[in-house]
Amino acid sequence: MVYSAYLAGNLLNFTNISFFSLAFGFLLSFFFIGSFNSFNAVFDIDVDKESKPKRPIPAGLISKNLALSYSLFLYFAFIVLLYVFYSFEVFVIGMIMIILSVFYSSGLRLKRFPLLSDLLIAITYTVFPMLLGFLIGRGNLFSLPYPQFAIVFLFGFAVLITKNFEDFVADKKHGLKTLPVIFGIKQTLALVILLFLVSDFVLLLLLLRNQLPSYLSLILFFTLPVFFHSFRRLWEEPSQKNAFKLFKHLAVFMLALELLTGFSLII
């Protein structure tokens, strides 16, 4: 999802597309999301022992210290790439994202705060990599195509909330206040559906104002119908298996959405 968001941003600024930008984006995405995930895994080991016991740290394949060192190395590599290939403004934004990602898992532990943590995850997985893709080569922040960024963010926000369903049991046991823990799976699922409807409404408005190409109207017809079965299955039988299936389907949807959005200024 992160690389497809980067690719969408790169496509939106199609004058900067090159083999270098595509390969660079893969490397940049790997460094950023790899550092974020590995750092978070170090501090989530107790939860992962129950919900994801086969992951390297809870499975005992690597130590916490090694994982922490690895994440710090990736953070450093990411910072170097930002400094070399982007403007100072983007570098500052990148540093802010790194600080927030660290505080997400440790220190302030922002993941304790529902919605705020989901908002940060949505920015991390959608808006920020899109920004990096669009601005590769020291592009201008003021030339961003805001309608495209808004649509990817809104749908991404709804999709990434569903990732909390997988860890519901472990999060509840360890006192993590995620939306499913606070409100329950069904109520949170209803919120996700509402967010999809809001995203569809915003998309419709942008289409009617000719700020997005008409082919993106296909999203309006497939958003809820395509996932109705998965939503219903999780509603009727809340389980980690059904939660994983739902997120997997929605992740594929986000991949398609990001790529379609990326081509919106070319087609």
Per the rule left: phi > 0, alpha: psi between -120 and 50, beta: everything else, 108 is: alpha
- Integer Cα distance of 259 and 145 in angstroms: 15
Question: Which CB contacts under 8 angstroms, 24+ apart, belong to 208-214?
Answer: 211/147, 212/147, 212/148, 212/151, 212/264, 213/264, 213/267
- Average of per-residue pLDDT across 57-71: 87
User: Is the pLDDT assigned to residue 127 strictly greater than 80?
Assistant: yes
- Integer Cα distance of 261 and 166 in angstroms: 28
Q: For the chain, how many structural domains are there in total? A: 1
Domain that includes residue 245, residue range: 2-265
pLDDT tens sequence across 84-121: 888 888 899 999 999 999 998 887 788 888 889 999 99
pLDDT band at residue 69 using 50, 70 and 90 as cut-offs: very high
CA distances from 217 to 141, 159, 213, 227, 263 (A): 27, 19, 8, 17, 14
Distance from the Cα of residue 35 to its chain's centroid:
14
- Integer Cα distance of 112 and 95 in angstroms: 22
User: Is the pLDDT assigned to residue 223 strictly greater than 80?
Assistant: no
Please report the pLDDT score of residue 149 as a whole number: 92
Q: What is the pTM of this model?
A: 0.88
